Amino acid sequence: MPCFTYILFSTRLNLFYVGVTNNIEKRLIEHNKFASCFTSTGVPWTLLWSTSKTDRKSAERLESRLKNLTRKRKIEFMIKYKDGISQELSIKILNQLM
């Protein structure tokens, strides 16, 4: 079953959040509806980047690698793999963070 690795951004916290899900739309709604203790403080969260992997294990491996990147390296990664950038707003946010 396909699984997504994704990167969210909170303007309130000026922070990235990296996660894995099999339903990215539903998960973003959950993050923004206070379904998670950690992400509840950063609402609203914006989906900046995502990619689909063939299985959960592959998605979790990428998640682990992304979580270990510095903030600067996460931004560079998203720009390098811009096919995963979710919308025009995400590009504007990334450019402001550079």
Show me where the domains of the chain are located: 3-89
Alpha-carbon distances of 21 from 24, 33, 89, 92, rounded to whole Å: 6, 16, 22, 25
SS3 15: strand
Question: What does the alpha-carbon distance between residue 76 and residue 2 come to, in Å, rounded to a whole number?
Answer: 25
Asked whether residue 73 carries a pLDDT value surpassing 70, the answer given is yes
Range 3-89: architecture per CATH: 3-Layer(aba) Sandwich (3.40)
Give the predicted TM-score (pTM) of the model: 0.90
Band of residue 72 on the pLDDT scale cut at 50, 70, 90: very high
Q: For position 6, what pLDDT does the model report?
A: 98
**61 or 36: which carries more pLDDT confidence?**
61
Q: For position 22, what pLDDT does the model report?
A: 97
5 within 8 A of 66, measured Cβ to Cβ:
yes
Q: CB neighbours (10 Å) of residue 60? A: 15
**43 or 88: which carries more pLDDT confidence?**
43
